[in-house]
Amino acid sequence: MAPAKSPELAKYQATLINRIPTIVSAAYRQAVIETIERLVDNVNPEECSLRWRIQAAFHSDTEPASHEVIALALTFESGMFEGPLLAVQKAFYKNHMKIRKHRKEWSIPGLTGAINCAESDDDDIDNTIDNGEGPSTQGVKRKINEVIDLTDDDDTRGKKPTTNPASSHVESENTPRLNQLAKGPPPIAERTPPPARTVKVPSFALARLPAPASMSPATPRANPDNIQNQPAPSPPVGVITMYNKHKELTTRINTFHTQAVELNSHAETLRKELVATSERRAADDDESLKGLDGYLSTYNGLSMRILKCHEDTISVINKAADLQAEHNKMWEEVNDRLKKLEKAVTELVAAASREADLRGNECKQERN
């Protein structure tokens, strides 16, 4: 049963859920809500479990899930990571340039389109939402030659930016791309047809295809003698290696299971011996305590041996479990490779069939 939430935490989580943009899908929204309810367990974003989970993933050179990043971004007012967490995020994507666009796409401004996600991450820009009024000038010093001259000059008075009469757009130095588009559409380059693609089919695949009746039997691929003399393609080396590894892991797992059974049996034998010794000692209580020291030594020795057997059993079972997990992972890789190989062979056979039919039609046309 989940622990009861404090009213303050429940209110904070509800606030974060209300900040989720409506543009996301229902399934993605549900994933973000579940992440907030499960991992945002503190009203302070710096102390919640989700913060440490994502930061640990970045330090482990692993990209966290997008819904987790969005859930944590909701805790910041800007909708993006800030402070030390932003530095860790930038350092991670600096080493993974192929996915660096996720730093801005997986944020609230990125989801709503308030920022340009294609912009380079090399520049140091603040995580502020674009409100359509151009970049912020807070904290930016102007150069001396950029200071506005406030003198009353007739030449500069009343000047307005150049404007196209046919457009309502007013040029601005902050929107150079928009200024260019307003002047006129860019020239459209003529599209050239793509180069013809040639399908290369391996010889072993063509040799196993039935030749069309219209083709000459003198063709090497249509000659039955050549087909029979060609060796069968050898299976990929990776599949053979994985099969041998599978057999080795299975043998080792069975060995560990056998050792665990033997150790448990030995521990049970020692336990029975200890019980029998205790019963014999209870029956001889009326006798002298002459052999008390020997009895205690035997009792303690048997107890230690039993504990040692149980420890060895647990160790063996853990090793067997690790090997079983490795075995399952290896088997999944084998299945994936076989599926890819089957798909590739199917495509090759289909391409070869099309080529054979095409050549058959060409032969018919030549005969006619």
pLDDT of 310 over the 70 cut = yes
Which of 81, 112, 143 corresponds to the end of one domain? 112
pLDDT of amino acid 150: 41
**Residue 30 and residue 61 in contact, taking contact as beta carbons nearer than 8 Å:** no
Prediction pTM value: 0.35
pLDDT band at 161 (very low <50, low <70, confident <90, very high): very low
pLDDT at 217 over 50: no
pLDDT at 277 (0 to 100): 76
In which band, very low, low, confident or very high, does the pLDDT at 121 lie, cut at 50, 70 and 90?
low
C-beta of residue 63 within 8 angstroms of C-beta of residue 57: yes
User: How many whole angstroms separate alpha carbon 285 and alpha carbon 283?
Assistant: 6
Q: Answer with the residue of higher pLDDT: 195 or 137.
A: 195
pLDDT (average), residues 16-42: 92
Residue 284's pLDDT is what?
A: 63
Tell me how many degrees the CA angle 78-79-85 measures, rounded to the nearest 5.
90
Domain boundary among 112, 132, 164: 112
Per-residue burial over 314-325, b = 16 or more CB atoms within 10 Å of its CB, e = otherwise: eebbebbeebee
Q: If you average pLDDT over every residue of the chain, what do you get?
A: 74
Tens digit of each residue's pLDDT (9 = 90 or more) over 327-340: 888 888 888 889 88
Is 191 contained in some domain?
A: no
The predicted model gives 21-42 an average pLDDT of: 92
Predicted confidence at residue 113, as pLDDT, reads 78
Q: What pLDDT digit, counting tens, does each position of 198-215 carry?
A: 555 555 555 555 555 545
Domain that holds residue 323: 238-367
Q: Tell me how crowded residue 282 is: count the other CB atoms within 10 A of its CB.
A: 8
> How many helices and strands in the chain, by DSSP H and E?
12, 0
Q: How many residues appear in the chain? A: 368
Quick check: is 143 in a domain? no
Q: Which of 105-119, 124-138, 302-316, 338-352 has the lowest mean pLDDT?
A: 124-138
Quick check: 286 pLDDT over 90?
Answer: no
Mean pLDDT of 242-254: 81
Domain membership flag for residue 227: no
As for how many domains the chain has, the answer is 2
Give domain status of residue 119, yes or no.
Answer: no
pLDDT tens-digit series, residues 91-103: 999 999 999 899 9
Higher pLDDT, 194 or 214: 194
Residue 316: per-residue pLDDT: 86
65 versus 367: which is more confidently predicted? 65
Domain assignment present for residue 133? The answer is no
Here the tokens at position 209 are 């295809």
* Beta bridge partners of residue 163, listed in sequence order: 170
Residue 216 domain flag: no
Q: Is the per-residue pLDDT at 124 higher than 50?
A: no
> 90, 112, 134 — which closes off a domain?
112
Per DSSP, the residues of 234-274 read PPPHHHHHHHHHHHHHHHHHHHHHHHHHHHHHHHHHHHHHH
Burial of 221 (0-12, 13-18, 19+ CB in 10 A): middle
Q: Is 363 left (phi over 0), alpha (psi -120 to 50) or beta?
A: alpha
Within a domain: 64: yes
Q: What is the pLDDT of residue 47?
A: 87
Out of 119-123, 247-251, 252-256, least confident range? 119-123
φ, ψ of residue 170 in degrees (nearest 5): -105, 125
- DSSP classification of residue 43: S
CATH number of the domain where residue 264 is located:
1.10.287
Say what the pLDDT of residue 220 is: 45
Confidence of residue 281 (pLDDT cuts 50, 70, 90): low
Q: Is residue 221 part of a domain?
A: no
